[in-house]
Structure 1
Amino acid sequence: MEISKGQSPHTQPNMRTAKVYTALESLLCVNCKQQQIIQNCESFLKLDAQLRNKRARELKVCLNCLRGGHFLSNCNSRSTYKKCHRKHHTLIHLEVNKANETIPIPQQIVNENTITNTSNQTNSTTNLSSSTLNAQTLLSTAMVKVNDTEHNSHQIRVLLDSAFQSNFVSEGLFVPQISSALPTHTFNRNAIEIPPNIKLADPRFNESRPIDVLLGAGIFWSLLSVGQVKVNQLILQRSKLGWLISGELVNQRFISDQTRASFFSLNELDHKLERFWQVDEFTSNDHILTNDEEYCEEYFRKTTTRDEAGKFIVKIPFKASVHNKLGNSYDVALARLKNLERRFETNPVLQENYIKFMQEYQRLNHMSNIENNNDNAFYLPHHAIIRESSETTKLRVVFDGSCKLETGLSINEAQFTGPTLQNDIFSIIARFRLHQYVFTADVEKMYRMVWVHPEHRRYQRILWRETTNDEICTYELNTVTYGTTSAPYLAIRCLIQIALDNQDYYPLESQVIKEDVEYSQEYSSLPSLDMSQ
């Protein structure tokens, strides 16, 4: 600032004139070099508190007023951050929790913990919460042995919760996950003095493991028995499943931070709606094949042959080398066979029909007895499906390609599904009603009319014997097997190939096969009886 005496035409005599020279450099943001203060700098505000703190130190500005030319120790400002009463700016404040871990405060409102992603067509919501646990609460769990409809025995872990109105079963049947693993942390059970005469319903209650079934209030109270023991803040409650343990377990070793993030996406719902609309619409069967579907078509054309009798010989479209990494399937197939035999003991009629089915399989050469060899082979478990409404075969043996091994994989997950080759059901029904005369046809044993290449039959092995007095034998299934992922595609693809190979000689018949086949069923109509001859 400069003050001088003088006169001008616009000032009175002896009027003092002041000239002010402003240093524009002081208004430049030290971060972006724009004419603004750093508190308004968009690029600086985009950073979280931890990065802003780091950036301020790099710029060598005062951490209290965020201005240059001096440091925190020389700052003339007496203001402090009111939350922690320390001398630093609000924008670079770092929140410290009880465990002395540094957590940056979000740039937006602190209480806002729901972030909705609207940057694209994906509708999703992410919830984030953080809390400090000073104790671990144990919930009542029990190990229970259950039998499925095939009388196979399974050991499952049950959570008993009187606050639930419903019962839940995990992904094997209904919901993908009942709860997180319980307890939240594995701990040493020796920290609890459990009386030696008490047999716990869940001997491994201290290990953090997944929950298979949740039993709510409708069952919970009926399981309780008379008897209760209190150990510190834990309650041991007698039940029909054994002694249940629950309550709060306080131990300094359990103090830890838990951060839970849950992500909800509407993509799956959108996909299901899209599939519903596709079924509901009248569409043609012409669609663009995916890369996997194109691979299946190319693989079929390259590997499929026909024998002297005209039968198709196909190879299974496997995914890379996944089928060689499935794990031990022999023991699973053996256990399932023995469970089936226990079922035969209580149902002789089932055993008789089952034996007849397997004898027919052998008589038609659809399976062959081989020497037991575990090398690079897959053994399919099998069970019976009863269809009382069937006019031909009331019992069908289904080979379980969806059976998961210890690796978590199944033979079905190692196969490509292949493209959908048949028309949608709406188109088939519309053509079925088009003309005056209608007819239907059924391709008997359609899947078993297609042979599997000998190199791939080792992935279709089964264990079988007619009675428990016989030796367990190993068989290879020689034909496309019902119950495997690629079976529908391979069978229908061969049927369509017959139509393509003969369309010059039988154009009408070929068109009917290509347009009006729904799996092994044929539904079509003709304008006159003469055309059906």
Structure 2
Amino acid sequence: MEFPHQKIDISHLDIPTDIILADSLFNETSKIDLIIGVEIFYDLLRDGQIKFGPNQPLLQNTALGWIVSGRVSSQHIQPSIANVAHESIPFIEQQLVRFWEIESCQTKSVLSREESLCEEHFAKTTARDSSGRFVVALPKKEDVISRIGNSKNIASRRFMSLERRLLSNPELKEAYSKFIHEWRDSPTQPLQTYQLTTVTYGTSAAPYLATKCLQKLGEDGSIIYPEAAVIIRNDVYMDDLLSGADSINKGKELCSQLIELANSAGLQFRKWASNSHEILESVPIHLRDERTLFELDSSCASIKTLGLKWDILSDKFLFEIPKHSRNLPLTKRVVLSDIARLFDPLGLVGPVVIQAKLFMQELWKEGKDWDDSLNDNYHLRWINFRNNLSDPAKLEIPRWMMTSFTNESTKYHGFCDASERAYGACIYVRTISSDGSIYVRLLTAKSKVAPIGKTKKDTTVCLPRLELCAALLLSHLYEKVQSCIKMKVKTFFWTDSTIVLHWISGSPSRWKTFVGNRVSEIQRITVNSVWAHVPGIENPADVISRGMSPEQLKEFTIWWNGPPWLSQSPRFWPPLTRQTGDNFPPNELEERCVFLYAQTKPPNEIFSLYSSFTKLTRVIALLQRFIHNDDTTKRPQQKTGMCR
């Protein structure tokens, strides 16, 4: 095979004379000497890129020398047919904008038309056979199926081709048949058509059908297996079930119910693991998982992530550091890929992750292309960030919150804060043991980068508004915790922004739209809870709004255990008092302006007759008496005397 098909004129390309090309005759037709696989290709790339201009090729530095890549404008090159993978850059940029776009007031998820049709289809077509197994029908897009056509001829040709290949290699045929036997034993036998009676793994409908069947199993088993049914409905994530119990006996009973309920549908929960050896012994041996360390990000099992892991022996959460390719040039695309590997669902290392988010926002504001190499400053900063990620690997975070969430001694304390670049929230669990000891543990946290203007004329959101956004973020985080734990726990909310406390204490209709909408949502979620002021230096959410290196975070006690006074009696807490608006500038209060229409009406002319109101009333009284006495029908009731 020869490439390119015809010689290309490169006289218009200003190729520097001080670089070494990997192929100095790249523009002339010649045979391809070597095809390099993609697994090696990226290891060959080096920092350095030279662009010739729009719709022109570029020079890329590699270990073999500089190569020319891209499109050329030539009418002499004949078109060819190829399979192309297309990636929409505008779509990626839209997704990235959402990365730091300001949060809106939370709305309920609404099913699309296709999703609603799938729900209806499952409800109408799903049944259980005599053995208890689920019988489902695949949801289909009829308009797509009608375009597929008859594929039997294609399948038959592929079958014949594979059969000829196996007949020419008896050893391969024997090995293949040991794995799966679907072939006729002789080419003289007729072809048979098989119909698959199970849901095929890998089809787009498979995850949906599996999840829906589990949900239906939870509904069907709610009477006989009440505890297991609740767990199946609420504690299944993707293809993992994560749950727990308050005692060993309850744990054993829960395992027994789950196994029996699954067996009733011909299913098996496998790879059981527990931090209790006694509970694990109640599970059949063939269903147990003997590992001691578990990756909690099952959806990213194929890539290395800054993954949250659970060590069942110590019952602690650990972090695994992702391995980055040292030879891949650093670009905005590579940085985004690195950030996507930071799996921290509970926000335990949120101050570290927010640094990565802020770095990405800086690249966005610079307007760099996705595949432009980073300049020296950005390159060095990101390399340092990568290297510092080794410190979270040394963190050991207790999984147990020292509470069963069932007693009055358990309280939630939520903190929120904002800076000009980001805002965040964190929630702690405070418990008092039977001996009076007080324990405070970080439960979860969340952060967002502050929004930026779409153009240079756009202004960013002011700090008081960001503080309000942080309070709303805390409210939504609390709402999420409540939906997961489902226990009524008294909650205290803390912020170092006095103006936010003043907004929350007022009626939403009093404030302008931006403030009023968020205040309304906060009041709805945190009704009957306490909002109070915490000094900024004692606010643990400050660190998640500004970021912190992994090495510093490891020793930052206030992040892991809250402010010191939280581990003491409430008499040492900051006062739980509301803030008045006397000290706030009017422009910061953002009060809604109320306009009243006033019409001036002149006084009655009678008041212009006399300058004395007393004299005026006497004259009017005399006139009224004259009119009365002049009436012939009222002669018997005539009035006399002096008017006073």
TM-score by length of 1: 0.30
Q: Determine which structure has the larger helix proportion and give its number.
A: 2
TM-score (norm 2): 0.25
Which structure has the highest strand share of the two?
1
